[in-house]
Structure 1
Amino acid sequence: MVDYHIGVVFQALQCPQNYLRIQDDTLIGTVASTDVATKENLQNLEEVGKALLKKPMSRVNFATGVYEPFKNGGTNEDALKRFAKLLSEERRRRTARSPNAKSV
């Protein structure tokens, strides 16, 4: 529900490209629990995360509520790299405009 509602907000603000959520709704057992911090489970979670990075980027279809592959979105890893670059550039711009910015 959170993904759906936040996605609608970003869509209404005409900036859906600024919203990125990567999740796996298929987790079961201990790997789906937030309370199991055993070494084995943490290693399993790491593997889940690595696999998620390789999956195609997807977004929720607001008409159906179903996740669908995002055309030309690439993988989740590609999306994270693009998003990190966007955030880095935004910080650089804000720092440059700051009255407290020091020249480098």
Structure 2
Amino acid sequence: MKDDSLSGDAASVDIATNENLKKLAEIGKDLLKEPVSRIDVETGTFKNVEGEGTNEDALTKFAKLLSKERKIRTQHINSSTDDLIL
């Protein structure tokens, strides 16, 4: 996710005041509600991706994918360890 419209304190990476952090949290919440977009390589602009839902949907889907992958790897490691013990 990216927001090219940030300006002022919100655009600075080194202003950690409570006010600025609250503002950034609100900006983040708003970004989650926006539709998934990707950069059009021909124009260099962001284009909404039909059928992909919101950024929140995409992050939830990605988190579930990572969780599933971790479970598979953990099971694989455990089964490999069991083979070594036998």
Let me know the Cα RMSD of the aligned residues. 1.2
| Residue in structure 2 matched with residue 31 of structure 1 by the alignment | 10
| Residue in structure 2 matched with residue 83 of structure 1 by the alignment | 62
Unpaired runs of 5+ residues, structure 1, are: 1-21
Residue 50 of structure 2: SS of its match in structure 1? coil
Unpaired runs of 5+ residues, structure 2, are: none
Number of equivalences: 80
Task: Answer with 1 or 2: which has the greater Rg.
Answer: 2
Structure with more contact order per residue of length (Cα contacts < 8 Å, sep ≥ 6): 1
Matched to 2:26, the amino acid is E
Structure with greater proportional helix content? 2
Question: What TM-score does the superposition give when structure 1 sets the normalisation length?
Answer: 0.73
Question: What TM-score does the superposition give when structure 2 sets the normalisation length?
Answer: 0.87
**Identity across matched positions, percent:** 51
| Residue in structure 2 matched with residue 93 of structure 1 by the alignment | 72
Q: Where has structure 1 moved over 3 Å in runs of 4 or more?
A: none
